[in-house]
Structure 1
Amino acid sequence: MADPTDTLPEVAFVPPASLADFAAPARAVLPAGVWDFVEGGSGTETTLAANRAALDRVAVLPRVLTGVDIPDTAADLPGGRYAQPVAVAPMAYQKLLHPDGEVALAAAARTAGVPYVASTVASAPLEEVAAAGGDVWFQLYWLRDRDLVADLVDRAHTAGCTALMVTVDVPVLGRRLRDVRNGFTLPPQVTAANLAGGRDDLAHRGAPGTSAVAAHTGAVFQPAMSWADLAWLRERTRLPLVVKGVLDPRDAVRAAETGADAVVVSNHGGRQLDGAPASATVLPDVVTAVGPRCTVLFDGGVRGGTDVLRALALGASGVLVGRPLLWALAAGGRAGAEAALGLLAAELRDALTLAGCADPGAARHLRTLIGG
């Protein structure tokens, strides 16, 4: 006898009304420890909270009678021109959220016409992610094994990546207390797929009161990265070089002088130095300091199109979006991620229209008030 469920129509993914609305269904399907790994910050999570609070304090002065009908959301970022001034932030171990992990999110980014940044500690190999995505940037952590660093850079070239992003704010992993309290470890099926032989066993070896991910990071990451290393990397790659994790304008200037094509103003989503300032607070100073020497991107608390507009008005050329896309991936796989990126595009179009801006470039000329 046939199973009556065989005749039921496939239920399509129904997207929420906002990016924030993806959080609840994601939390409902994820193990508590995985939710905390994604959501948590370091220390008392002061900086994590500050990121969102700082954006909420940014008021944008809209222009009127500008004759804008349907704005063009396209923007130039390192590596090309994209449908939005948005890139998918590098995020580790996405198979924790969904079995298709990085491949699904990269495919969603391809559909949306935005770059996907593949992490060194992805749970799918770079080559698979690059094959699934459109424009893929590779994010590099500095490792103790310089030969492995060189190999990763070469793999990024061979895979057709269009930019190289080096993260410079993780000499050691921030003390993420949720993971410590949970004794968080990676499940056996989730591995650092790009780091064969890179002490991946440590990330699966749990102990009460410790984070196995932090133990793994401590074993393979090089805490003493220097400007000389950045110069070495600049000489080794022909790709646009993006330096992520800059907060002090002096460091942004030096990165530009060392050959960076872009810097990302970021406190790592509040997951590194707790007590560091919110990214939005220091963004204007970084933009002023570097001037035309390199592109400035923003990362930290973006939850919708209005936040993209705020970052542009503060001087950024584009933003990285992180946690909301992991929520969407958990809630609906590739379809969820595509829905989230489509929603972000619609919100940005609305925000640009309401602000009287024909395109993201015009938004960079808007005035802002801090505190509303």
Structure 2
Amino acid sequence: MKSIFLDYNATTPIAPSVQEAMLPFMAEYFACPDGMYAQSRAIEEALEDARGQVAHLLGSTSDEVIFCASGTESCNLAIKGVVLPYLAQRQPCHIIVSAIEHAAVSQTASHCRYMGCEVSVLPVDRHGLVSAEELANTIRSDTKLVSVMLANDETGVIQPLDKLAKVCQEHAVLLHSDACQAAGKIHVSPKQLGVDLLSISAHKFYGPKGAAALYVKEGTSLHPLIHGAGAEHSMRAGAENVMAWVGMGKAANLVGRSIDDAAEKLTQLTRRFGHRLMESILEPIVIHGSQVERVPNTLCVNFPNISGQELLRRVPEICASTSCSDTVGGGNSSPVLAAMGVAEDEKRGTIRLSLGWYTSEEEVDRAADLLIHAWESMRH
């Protein structure tokens, strides 16, 4: 039986036109872009075209885009790139991250703490939102950076970054946002949001793995993590991953032209999915974050009185995930749900369903039927 892929927040398939754009750089155009010959110049031009496409998606200039190998690297460069000079000079350094960050940010912040930086963790309310007032109360005289994601990978909840940015600007503090789950799903403009640094990852929007970018606002001082030859505006040494970065550029162009149409389709599908589950399951279902703005493709659903892990085991046709890695015994250890104050039994029964371009109405209906049947069999 054909599987139903509902884990688009984990990764997306490479779009056919993106794959086609990448193919010449797997074979014919294999040279390094810094050579003096014609093939190198052609490759350099392709890379700059890709940079321009990513910049266009973000509404930035090409000079503000640094290519990276992953969203995790992008977040590391943003955070450590700000923190390292202060630590090297033994100056006071304090950073703030939210309680719902991806490990790419939370673990990086933990490492900065290990290196001597002080770290504060911003709480969220029951909807998963950070408060601008709470942020203002947490900022100190030695605060150098705030990092708050744009859209959460588990709940899809979108943060009020524009309000948080105003607080940071009032205190002359840099603001970074992990936008890996937002780029390609909603319009993402660092300038409109008011952020100084912003991370995106190509494999979240129908591009290849191994390609990501960091937006660095013009005039923002950043220390490189990888040293060597002066690639990527001297911010990231190493041979360029031409094939992947060209693919990211093509994917950025592709999603940039279709965001509104795709968002409308996905909004309808997720609404259909949620309604079908709630109408058929007699016990109360909770969709986490449903009372606030979310990206259009994500349903973080609690199935009452069962284990989400066991539920997914019973429907092998569905490719989905629990909201976080399950603990021994079928529990859910999600720090995001914990930060939102979700009760243990609700965490235990929560799964994440994330839809994408290739999700059909028929797949949504079939997946809903399979989940409903599995839940009923577990309850009775």
TM-score w.r.t. length of structure 2: 0.31
Q: Which has the higher contact order (CA 8 A, sep 6+)?
A: 1
Larger Rg: 2
TM-score w.r.t. length of structure 1: 0.31
